[in-house]
Amino acid sequence: MTKAMIICNPSAGKEKARELLPTAISNLKEVYDEVYVRETKQEGDAVVFAQDACVEQYDAVISMGGDGTVSETINGLAEQRHRPAFGLIPLGTVNDFARALSIPLDPEEAACVVSSQRTKAADIGKINNQFFMNVLAVGAVAEATYNVSVKQKTLLGPLAYLIEGGKALVKKTPFKLTVEHDSGKWQGESYLMVAALTNSVGGFNTVAPDARINDGKIHVLIIKDLSLPNIMKIVPSLLWGELKKHDQVEYFQTSFLDVSSDEELAVNIDGDEGVPLPFRAQILNQHLNVIVPK
């Protein structure tokens, strides 16, 4: 008997998740003998449900919700002895992981993809003792994303993050950073560090355009100067996908990062406030089999 679990955040997408459930269940029943639904009620539920699916040898786990639900589900699947195929029906604002895997951003279309039997191996990252799917960021611009309200995200989408990041630049100050990686060590003053696993960061595919979902690398960009003259040069470089070539940007690829600072800083993990520095991050190469369009 084959079985699939849907982990559903019923409040996601303006409660669109519940509307889509019958379609998702119907599509999954074309492939799996049994389909079970687990609805989240509080933070951490999706982690527990995904872990249960691993222990109970499910064949597939489908995350139906925003980026937070997807992140929790991945944290429940990571490093388990048995890892079911992972599918997602994105109902968030940005949905970077779905973008990187060419999963439709339209929830109804994505609900049809879950019955696909095609999978693609995908990397995830591990930071200290938790897991991430897309990006780590350090600096005032990254911290500004915490101020983005639900209303702003609904109205403006990814642009809301750019607006808050722009406000942070007004009172920007550099910080000292030490970054150890595959090729050595970088030390210096920085305004922002971004470490991306995919080519979609904050809804933009020009931040780390060379990143691939399963290349086994963290793509790191350290922006050393954000003075007004440099911002005027950096923005076009960003829009053209050539940020790594800017003379005030340090770029490298690595399988691990050790990041520290003599200042009190916290890392932004997939858009949410994470652990304080120092931290260690590493790649779990091709760790998940993700259900993708046929």
| Angstrom distances, CA of residue 251 to CA of 43, 214, 224, 267 | 35, 19, 11, 18
Q: What is the pLDDT of residue 208?
A: 86
pLDDT tens for the chain, 294 residues long, are 999 999 999 988 777 888 899 999 999 999 999 999 999 999 999 999 999 999 999 999 999 998 889 999 999 999 999 999 999 999 988 889 999 999 999 999 999 999 999 999 999 999 999 999 999 999 866 665 656 555 655 565 555 555 555 555 555 678 899 999 999 999 999 988 999 999 988 777 767 888 999 999 999 999 887 666 666 666 656 656 666 776 788 999 999 999 999 998 989 999 888 899 999 999 999 999 999 998
CB neighbours (10 Å) of residue 118?
A: 12
Q: Which of 217, 264, 210 is nearest to 242 (CA)?
A: 210
CA distance 122 to 286: 4
Instruction: Please give the pLDDT value at position 206.
Output: 67
Which amino acid is it at 230?
Answer: N
Say how many CA atoms lie within 13 Å of 245 toward its Cβ: 12
Contact call for residues 158 and 94 (beta carbons, < 8 A): yes
- The pLDDT value given to residue 225: 77
CB atoms within 10 A of CB 259: 23
Cis, peptide link before residue 278, omega less than 30° from 0: yes
pLDDT the model gives residue 83: 98
Distance of CA 86 to the CA centre of its chain: 15
d(CA 129, CA 132): 10
Could you tell me which of 79, 87, 36, 37 has the C-alpha nearest to residue 61? 87
Confidence (pLDDT) at 236: 58
The CA R_g of the chain, rounded to the nearest whole Å, is 19
Cα gap 38→50, rounded to integer Å: 10
